[in-house]
Amino acid sequence: MPHILGLSDYTIHRENSHFTGKMSGLFNALDAHYTVIDVVQPHLRGLARQVNRALSFHPKVDYWRVLVSANPHAFRARSRVAGHLIDSQPEPVDLVFQNLAIFAPGLDFHERPYVVMTDNTHAIAERHWPDWAPYRTRREHEAFMALEQDLFHHARVVFTHSHFARNSIINDYGTPADRVVVTGVGSGFTPPAEYDPLPGRYASQRALFVGYDFERKGGDHLLEAWQSVRKALPDATLQIVGPEVPSAPATQGVQWLGRITDRDRLRRIFDEAACFVMPSLFEPYGLAFIEAMSLGLACVAPEGYGVADIIRSGENGYLVPVGKADPIADALIALLGDPAAAESMGRQARTDTLNYARWDLVVERMRPHLEAALNRN
């Protein structure tokens, strides 16, 4: 059986024969067909980390936080660490499966068999959310783009979460279209085999938002929209998971739950909601939508990004114009004010994820391309 080594920026652990952590479902599904030796992280540590922080310094802290991960020096330094991790494996690696595109599988990787999976590119970020591409000079920007292009061009296949990302990898980086494949992603929650929603769930008039980057996730526009929702539905509540409780005066019907790391508790919060809302100003794809849909929630999501691959407005959720409060309010009133519609659309959302957004199905879509990658000389 071919041996695959996972390479990811996310921390993923193996517990006995099972991987845990963000995106671990991908590697568990791969392990059902191949031998996944391990999933390793090319993180910078010690002096290398300090040097990168110094070289990426930006007086604006938010920009510095991005540049620490997305600058040419960091890309090369992480690639060096990745190459060492790959070469130090105790058994031969037939294929490297890399998640995300902010490093390469080594400095001299052109002949190494590898595939990449990503939801975003820096060309996309530059167009839609420049705060994720805060390069200090044009030269720095071009250098990072060239590193990404080299990574995509030498990959045996690039898997993307959406057509939105696929189009960028083909059009912005010149990657041959036959080597860029849309596979979607799976949910971080395992949906129940039989769907039995909690009594009164869809009549609860409870909307749920989950997102740590409150501004980018459209939180301010959601709070503006919520004022209209409360006028129409005085008993409606909005639960917000992620950001800290603000010091500003409380908004009626809004419950700030803060950061929740306990996945069981978070799942219970999803299970008690009537719908999910995250009207992001920029969202390459949005794993939270998949998680919400898999647990029977219709979603209110931004139009124009990768989520359009899975949400059909008026059928399993609503796609709303980016940055406009009134359409957000209209969609929430339509769902919270009509429990039958919320349940019907939520059940459709769950069916859609069961038929498309399961990790075993994602890997099945990958397998012909993985076999070709493994068999290529």
Quick one: 144 and 223 in the same domain?
no
Rounded average pLDDT over 161-167 = 97
Rounded average pLDDT over 174-201 = 93
Write out pLDDT tens, residues 205-218.
999 999 999 999 99
Question: Could you give the CA distance from residue 83 to residue 42 in angstroms, rounded to a whole number?
Answer: 9
Mean pLDDT of the chain: 94
pLDDT in the model for residue 190 = 86
Quick one: 219 and 324 in the same domain?
yes
Write out pLDDT tens, residues 54-73.
989 888 888 888 889 889 99
What is the residue range of 303's domain?
A: 206-356
pLDDT in the model for residue 135 = 83
Quick one: 219 and 159 in the same domain?
no
pLDDT at 99 > cutoff 90: yes
Write out pLDDT tens, residues 151-163.
999 999 999 999 9
pLDDT band at 297 (very low <50, low <70, confident <90, very high): very high
pLDDT at 249 > cutoff 70: no
Quick one: 52 and 165 in the same domain?
yes
Quick one: 340 and 365 in the same domain?
no
Query: How many structural domains comprise the chain?
Result: 2
DSSP for 220-271, please give it: HHHHHHHHHHHHH-TT-EEEEESSPPPSSPPPTTEEEEE----HHHHHHHHH
Quick one: 215 and 343 in the same domain?
yes
- DSSP secondary structure letter of residue 356: H
Write out pLDDT tens, residues 315-369.
999 999 999 999 999 999 999 999 999 999 999 999 999 999 999 999 999 999 9
Global pTM?
Answer: 0.94
Query: Hey, which residues does 275 pair with through a beta bridge?
Result: 207
Quick one: 173 and 291 in the same domain?
no
